[in-house]
Amino acid sequence: MNRFEIIDKLNESMKSKEPIIGVSIGNGRSAQQAAEGGADLLLALNAGRFRMSGIASTAAMLPFVNCNDMVYEFGHKEVLPRVNGIPVLFGACAQDPTYTHEELIEQVIHAGFDGINNFPTVSLIDGQYREFIEENNEGFAQEVDLLKKAVEKGFFTIAFVVTLEEAIQMVEADVDVLCLHFGWTYINRPNESELKPYVDQLIVKANTVFEKILEIKPTIIPMIYGGSIIRNPEVMSRFYNETLTMGYIGGSVFEVTPVENSIKDATKRFKSINLISELEKENEILKQHLMSKRGVKTVIGNSQIMKEMSDLITKVSNFDSNVLVNGENGSGKDLVVKAIHYNSNRAIHPIIKVNCAAIPKSLIESELFGHEKGAFIGADKQHIGRFESANHGTLFLDHITELDLNVQAKLLRVIQDKEFERVGGDETIHIDVRILSTSNKDIYKEIQEKKFREDLFYLLNVITVEMPPLRSHKQDIPLYVSTFMDSISEKHNKNMSVSPRVMNAFMNYDWPGNVRELKNVLERGAILCDGDVIDIQLLPTTFYGIIPIDDTVNYIKNSSMIVEKELILNELIKANWNQTKVAEKLGMTRRTLYNKIKKYTLEKNILKG
């Protein structure tokens, strides 16, 4: 299972409000039981092997020579052959001198493991021994380097951390899951009188760490690692309800009862805990609602036409009718759809987006309505469709006119009857969904040409919102520029602005790409800008015909430098920063390329937010 398949699978679990459960295992039998209990991830760790041998797992916290061979031995021979369809991650000791990081990653990939994690981690070691490890360059930096190289290889990664500083380092390495380890496996369990304040303290820590890492990488999956304290389901529920935790990874806690199926039963119990309580759902929606309000600033302006648009959004949101948002590409249709949803009574439920133009015709029906296991070749499990996922909320059908006529007919029936069957199934599923659609085409023309069903159009088009192109309300451009530059300045850690000449050029340009083009032009200028002010030589060539010439500016020299800088940057990104390949492609020596990288202050993370 590749990295993106694993991430998609975990996201599906989160969408269905199920916690992500990872189980640390030390042999094939444990792996099989955890899989049968519904585990989402299996972690082959030497700690698990130690437990199976009757040795305290705390011994496995220490890095030792050949510890990776131990994991490889039982993981490859016992675990991988006995589980199927569940990702198995290799618990790697980054300090083991037996292999280089590159050699270890290649060996793990070749063996068939689906991902890698940094357990044992020196984060769980303190005192003089930890100081000694760090001084000998065998500390946490080695673990960051290992996972960073695994990410570059396209490998799925889980990072175990103890502190906020460690968490930031791992997120900047672009790991997929960050697991906050509280040290529960090697501390004494607090008594009942101490339990609540102790958990309160840990919840504060989890919120501090998770809020920061999600700021840096919004797609990262935050999890926690625990021991005996988590046997209390109320404690686990508190973490799900009061923090941004999306799952739990554990080892010994799944072996709490010495019976044949203890691991299976324990895994089932942890998997069945509701990820988000009703109160947490409301809090999460409030956060999304505030985010959506902030996003609407790029739609609403000071012009009369946009003030009327704002009033219409408010009015439309109060009704439960289906809405069609029509307008040119880049005009902000997505933002209007989100604003309507988050201002409606359905805001406490999800908005599920379907890009009708991006999904192959052969898969669109399954994506919309779901399918049963065995419905077609490759359908190895039941799949919940977008309609079902959006129940009680909003289904956002982007590029609605791209739907195949056969699918349009089925969509018509679902909207009329509010029910459907999954592909390959006979169970009738009843739904309550509001549909918001967008189109950048003339739908009346599509109907005349028999490309779009007229009866479906009237069901989707109870209310129409026409998005005006940016050229029709240019007086809002300064407000948009200010809004975008605030965001870009924060992203690039600069206090950036545009020169008066740039603003004049913006006001004289017709913006065929609308608001999206404006944002992209500003982002491009920020990347290519060496200072804090975006000037005219940083604009694309499409603006040159409308820019007044200033005799004091050497446009040819400045423009050629910008073009060279952008060309080198683009080639470096495409080659994953392999300077040898880029130098060969551009016909220059590696030293010349290095000097130009230094001259233009290009950095590998220049495009990361």
Asked if 461 contacts 314 with a C-beta cutoff of 8 angstroms, the reply is no
Instruction: Provide the pLDDT confidence category of residue 289 given band limits of 50, 70 and 90.
Output: very low
Tokens representing 412 are 């018509």
Instruction: Provide the pLDDT confidence category of residue 186 given band limits of 50, 70 and 90.
Output: very low
How does pLDDT run across 16-44, given as a tens digit for each residue? 778 899 988 888 888 888 888 889 999 99
Name the domain boundary from 436, 468, 500: 468
Task: Give the lowest-confidence range in 326-330, 463-467, 486-490.
Answer: 486-490
**Do 244 and 325 have their domain in common?**
no
Taking the alpha carbons at both ends of the chain, their separation in whole angstroms is 28
Handedness of CA 367, 372, 377, 378 (dihedral sign): positive
Instruction: Provide the pLDDT confidence category of residue 55 given band limits of 50, 70 and 90.
Output: very low
| % of the chain residues with pLDDT over 70 | 81
Quick one: pLDDT at residue 287?
A: 46
Name the domain boundary from 276, 304, 337: 276
Asked if the model's pLDDT at residue 258 lies above 80, the reply is no
Sequence-separated (6 or more) residues with CB below 8 Å from residue 60 = 45, 46, 47, 49, 50, 67, 120
Distances (CA, A) of 78 to 68, 252, 255, 528: 15, 19, 19, 53
How does pLDDT run across 558-599, given as a tens digit for each residue? 545 655 676 788 788 878 888 888 888 887 888 888 888 888
**Inside any domain, residue 607:** no
**Do 420 and 547 have their domain in common?**
no
Quick one: pLDDT at residue 107?
A: 94
Residue predicted with more confidence, 241 or 516: 516
**Do 442 and 367 have their domain in common?**
yes
Q: Is the pTM of this model over 0.85?
A: no
Instruction: Provide the pLDDT confidence category of residue 455 given band limits of 50, 70 and 90.
Output: very high
Long-range CB contacts for residues 445-454, cutoff 8 Å, separation at least 24:
446/401, 451/401, 451/405, 452/401, 452/408, 453/405, 453/408, 453/409, 453/412
**Do 142 and 105 have their domain in common?**
yes
CATH number of the domain at 260, please: 3.20.20.70
Identify the burial level of 439 via C-beta atoms within 10 angstroms of its C-beta, where 0-12 means exposed, 13-18 middle and 19 or more buried: buried
**Inside any domain, residue 460:** yes
Quick one: pLDDT at residue 49?
A: 67
Instruction: Provide the pLDDT confidence category of residue 102 given band limits of 50, 70 and 90.
Output: very high
Quick one: pLDDT at residue 190?
A: 57
**Do 462 and 479 have their domain in common?**
no
Distances (CA, A) of 486 to 289, 357, 474, 479, 508: 20, 32, 19, 11, 23
Residue predicted with more confidence, 244 or 437: 437
Which conformational region is residue 403 in: left (phi greater than 0), alpha (psi within -120 to 50 degrees), or beta? beta
Range of the structural domain that residue 482 is part of: 475-599
**Do 357 and 481 have their domain in common?**
no
Q: What is the largest CA-CA distance in the chain?
A: 86
Instruction: Provide the pLDDT confidence category of residue 75 given band limits of 50, 70 and 90.
Output: very high
**Inside any domain, residue 609:** no
**Do 265 and 348 have their domain in common?**
no
Quick one: pLDDT at residue 259?
A: 39
Highest mean pLDDT among 205-209, 324-328, 342-346: 324-328
Q: Which residue type is seen at 138?
A: E
**Do 72 and 154 have their domain in common?**
yes
How does pLDDT run across 148-177, given as a tens digit for each residue? 999 999 999 999 999 899 999 999 999 999
**Do 320 and 360 have their domain in common?**
yes
Asked if the model's pLDDT at residue 66 lies above 60, the reply is yes
**Do 319 and 415 have their domain in common?**
yes
**Inside any domain, residue 88:** yes
**Inside any domain, residue 159:** yes
Highest mean pLDDT among 159-173, 200-214, 343-357, 468-482: 159-173
Quick one: pLDDT at residue 397?
A: 95
Asked if the model's pLDDT at residue 135 lies above 60, the reply is yes
Asked if 87 contacts 247 with a C-beta cutoff of 8 angstroms, the reply is no
**Do 367 and 304 have their domain in common?**
yes
Nearest partner of 208 among 165, 241, 246, judged by Cα: 165
**Inside any domain, residue 605:** no
Quick one: pLDDT at residue 63?
A: 54
Look at residue 121 and give its three-state secondary structure.
coil
Quick one: pLDDT at residue 56?
A: 47
Q: Which residues of 562-586 are buried (b: 16+ CB within 10 A; e: fewer)?
A: beebbebbebbeeeebebeebbeee
Instruction: Provide the pLDDT confidence category of residue 295 given band limits of 50, 70 and 90.
Output: very low
Quick one: pLDDT at residue 253?
A: 53
Asked if 337 contacts 515 with a C-beta cutoff of 8 angstroms, the reply is no
User: Concatenated DSSP letters for 536-575?
Assistant: GGGS-GGGGGGSPP-TTS-HHHHHHHHHHHHHHHHHHHHT
Residue predicted with more confidence, 317 or 548: 317
Quick one: pLDDT at residue 291?
A: 45
Quick one: pLDDT at residue 439?
A: 94
Q: What is the mean pLDDT of the chain?
A: 81
Asked if the model's pLDDT at residue 247 lies above 60, the reply is yes
Name the domain boundary from 440, 468, 496: 468
CATH number of the domain at 303, please: 3.40.50.300
**Do 484 and 400 have their domain in common?**
no
Q: How many structural domains comprise the chain?
A: 3
Handedness of CA 556, 562, 566, 569 (dihedral sign): positive
Instruction: Provide the pLDDT confidence category of residue 306 given band limits of 50, 70 and 90.
Output: confident
Q: What share of the chain is helix, strand, coil (3-state, %, to 5)?
A: 55, 10, 35
**Inside any domain, residue 592:** yes
**Inside any domain, residue 178:** yes
| % of the chain residues with pLDDT over 90 | 32
Instruction: Provide the pLDDT confidence category of residue 262 given band limits of 50, 70 and 90.
Output: low
DSSP one-letter code for 79: I
For 157, list phi and psi in degrees, rounded to 5.
-135, 140
Nearest partner of 509 among 478, 535, 542, 532, judged by Cα: 542
Q: How far is C-alpha 450 from the geometric centre of its chain's CA atoms?
A: 39
Alpha-carbon distance 280 to 278, whole Å? 5
